[in-house]
């Protein structure tokens, strides 16, 4: 495959993936907005504070999806004069914000569970179970929309975990409602709530950690600096590598800069093409390489301190 064909294929795949993500965000937002309206209506009709509270929580999920969609749309602006990488890093901040929202949700769920332990109350009957069951379907379907791209885009993973967490909450409401109707033990409700909160906490921790790492321009997960260095040094015309920096441009794109000492500067063009191809195979799509002769002296060679 020629370079032009490869670039065209990559561009077509990127547009296809973007179209899938865009449709998933829009469909998820519309579906969950309709559910929030229905849940608020049911809450007023059945005078259920539980349903009204859950509707408010689901409204927060719509906000999370809107945040992810806004970042996704911003990231498609590739360049402007004052932001030479465009707004692609907004996807990183969106994933960080979604992780923070999920952790706040965990805190709210745990607080409410402790309150119910201290002051047990009657838990709603069939109308609440049916509404929560609808929530399982809608939240689960929305999470499924993001399952294909969640391992390739941290912003999408944030939206996926948000909706998966809500699916678990709705499942918990249904299970606790059924068990309470069957046994009459109201304590089942806060117990299941705490289990769900712990599950959400564990699933969110990885998202938060990776989001913070990317926001701090840390080396993205799955890329090892020493491995990249060794792969570049395997080229027969590369003598040494220094000033090697790797950082994320967005949740799906990575950049690299490096000083490369060549054995033979006359082979520079061919060497550069090989190195860019090697880096692309390791998930680095934007590479800026500065080439030096063996006799050149770099006054400030990089020293790793962490």
184 and 257 part of one domain: no
Q: Are residues 112 and 64 in the same domain?
A: yes
Task: Kindly state whether residues 79 and 183 are assigned to the same domain.
Answer: yes
20 inside domain: yes
Q: CATH number for the domain including 239?
A: 3.30.70.1350
Burial letters 93-116, b for 16+ CB under 10 A, else e? bbbbbbbebbbebbeebbebbeeb
Question: Which structural domain range is residue 280 located in?
Answer: 225-292
**Element containing residue 287 per DSSP (H, E):** strand 286-292
Residue 96 lies in a domain: yes
Q: What single-letter DSSP state applies at residue 261?
A: E
d(CA 158, CA 146) in angstroms, rounded, equals 10
Residues 170 and 264 in one domain: no
Co-location of 89 and 185 in the same domain? yes
- Same domain, residue pair 138 and 58: yes
Asked, for residue 198, whether it belongs to a domain, the answer is yes
Among residues 159, 299, 303, 188, which one has the least CA distance to residue 244?
Answer: 303
The model's pTM is 0.70
In this structure, the answer to whether residues 192 and 283 fall within a common structural domain is no
**Count of the separate structural domains present in the chain:** 2
Question: pLDDT by residue for the chain (306 residues), tens digit each?
Answer: 444 444 444 444 444 556 667 788 888 888 888 888 887 787 677 655 556 556 666 776 787 788 778 877 777 776 677 777 778 888 888 888 888 887 887 787 788 778 877 876 665 567 678 878 888 898 888 888 888 777 777 778 778 887 887 788 778 777 777 877 787 777 777 777 777 778 778 777 887 888 898 889 899 888 899 999 999 999 999 999 999 999 998 878 899 999 999 999 889 999 999 999 999 999 898 999 999 988 776 665 555 444
Domain-terminating residue out of 161, 193, 215: 215
Q: Looking at the structure, do residues 230 and 210 belong to the same domain, yes or no?
A: no
Regarding whether 56 and 161 lie in a shared domain, the answer is yes
């Amino acid at each position: 495959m020629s370079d032009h064909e490869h670039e065209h294929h990559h561009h077509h795949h990127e547009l296809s993936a973007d179209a899938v993500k865009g449709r998933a965000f829009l469909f998820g937002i519309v579906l969950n907005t309709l559910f929030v309206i229905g849940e608020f209506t049911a809450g007023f009709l059945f005078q259920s504070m539980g349903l009204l509270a859950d509707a408010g929580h689901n409204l927060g999920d719509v906000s999370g999806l809107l945040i992810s969609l806004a970042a996704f749309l911003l990231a498609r602006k590739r360049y402007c004069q004052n932001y030479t990488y465009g707004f692609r890093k907004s996807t990183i901040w969106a994933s960080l914000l979604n992780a923070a929202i999920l952790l706040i949700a965990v805190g709210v769920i745990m607080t409410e569970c402790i309150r119910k332990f201290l002051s047990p109350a009657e838990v709603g009957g069939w109308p609440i179970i049916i509404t929560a069951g609808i929530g399982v379907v809608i939240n689960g379907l929305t999470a499924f929309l993001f399952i294909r791209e969640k391992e390739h885009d941290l912003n999408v993973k944030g939206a996926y975990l948000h909706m998966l967490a809500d699916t678990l909450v709705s499942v918990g409401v249904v299970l606790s409602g059924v068990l309470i109707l069957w046994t009459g033990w109201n304590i089942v409700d806060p117990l299941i709530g705490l289990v769900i909160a712990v599950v959400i906490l564990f699933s969110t921790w990885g998202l938060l950690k990776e989001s913070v790492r990317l926001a701090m321009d840390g080396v993205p997960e799955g890329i090892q600096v020493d491995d990249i260095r060794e792969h570049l040094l395997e080229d027969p015309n590369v003598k040494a590598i220094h000033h090697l920096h790797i950082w994320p441009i967005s949740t799906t794109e990575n950049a690299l800069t490096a000083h490369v000492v060549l054995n033979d500067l006359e082979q520079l063009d061919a060497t550069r093409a090989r190195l860019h191809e090697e880096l692309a195979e390791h998930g680095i799509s934007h590479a800026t390489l500065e080439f030096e002769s063996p006799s050149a002296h770099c006054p400030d060679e990089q020293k790793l301190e962490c």
